[in-house]
Amino acid sequence: MRRDYWESLCNIWVAERWQQTSTTMKVNRAANLEANMHISGSVAFATHQFRLEKELKRPPTFQEVFNKTHKKKGTNQYISDRAREVAESYSQQMTEKYAGEEEQPQLDPEVWVAAFGAPKKGHVYGFGHSKDTSRVLSGASSSALQTSAFTTPGAPGTPSEMMGFILDTISGLESRLAQMMESRLAQKMHVQVSDAVQAQLSQAISQAISQVSIPPQAAPSTSARAPHCTRATYDKRLHKIKVRIKYYQINVTNGG
């Protein structure tokens, strides 16, 4: 990541508003530990599904991915009673519902909802944040159940295709972020240059004006006095001032 991007992110993270949001979310997570427990770490559930497909050499079921991310490594024990109860209830209901059929769908949203209970604030237990929950939340029809629930709307259906879709999406977002940051940096530099030119312009005008000595009004006198400068000299110096002002105005307009 470019240094200026990183510094911009750090500025966001140290802002008071971000700190308040972070504290609130931390309290919320601590209030319901079991709802947030899994062993996937920072790895997305979709990535676990992709790896499991390569390991099994076939598309895994949703419960297989759930077990992969909710069982202790090297054991067959679930990380919490909540995870075990949901998995066992879902497995039992799937067996009863599809008894006598050769294959089961990768995920039955209605059975999963019956196993884990109603979603809270749009969050479906066991889905993480990288999978489409619309089919579960809306109770999709049985005709749509054969489609993997791990796909994002508009994305390809297989895990390998989906990973490509995700990488392309991330690449596009990074490109847009780079353009936005460069645009803001250019605007900031333009403002700084404009301010500097304005300061130079003001200084030049002050210097030019200080060089002009406007002849004072002649006091009544019987004897004529020679003026400090002639009218021609005054007009010539005034013309120089106007030329300098025009020059700096052009620089300000052009940003440098």
Q: Are 114 and 233 part of one and the same domain? A: no
Q: Which domain holds residue 75?
A: 13-153
Distance from C-alpha of 155 to C-alpha of 168, rounded to nearest angstrom? 11
Q: Are 71 and 130 part of one and the same domain? A: yes
Mean of all residue pLDDT scores within the chain: 67
The first and second tokens of residue 185, run together, are 């940096």
Amino acid at 182: E
Q: Are 21 and 142 part of one and the same domain? A: yes
Q: Are 19 and 130 part of one and the same domain? A: yes
Distance from C-alpha of 223 to C-alpha of 218, rounded to nearest angstrom? 11
Identify the pLDDT of residue 64: 86
Q: Are 149 and 193 part of one and the same domain? A: no
61 neighbors 149 (Cβ within 8 angstroms): no
Question: What secondary structure letter does DSSP report for 114?
Answer: H
Residue 2 included in any domain: no
pTM of the prediction?
A: 0.38
**Mean pLDDT for the stretch of residues 123-128:** 58
147 neighbors 161 (Cβ within 8 angstroms): no
The first and second tokens of residue 101, run together, are 């059929």
Q: Is 46 exposed, middle or buried (0-12, 13-18, 19+ CB in 10 A)?
A: buried
Whether 35 shows a pLDDT value over 60: the answer reads no
The first and second tokens of residue 231, run together, are 């009218």
Model confidence at 45, pLDDT cuts 50, 70, 90, reads low
Q: Is 151 helix (H, G, I), strand (E, B) or coil?
A: coil
Distant-in-sequence, close-in-space partners of 136: CB < 8 Å, separation ≥ 6: 109, 112, 113, 119, 124, 127, 149
Taking residue 25's Cβ as centre, other Cβ atoms within 10 Å add up to 10
Whether 143 shows a pLDDT value over 50: the answer reads no
Q: Are 135 and 24 part of one and the same domain? A: yes
Q: Are 40 and 124 part of one and the same domain? A: yes
Q: Are 166 and 145 part of one and the same domain? A: no
Residue 220 included in any domain: no
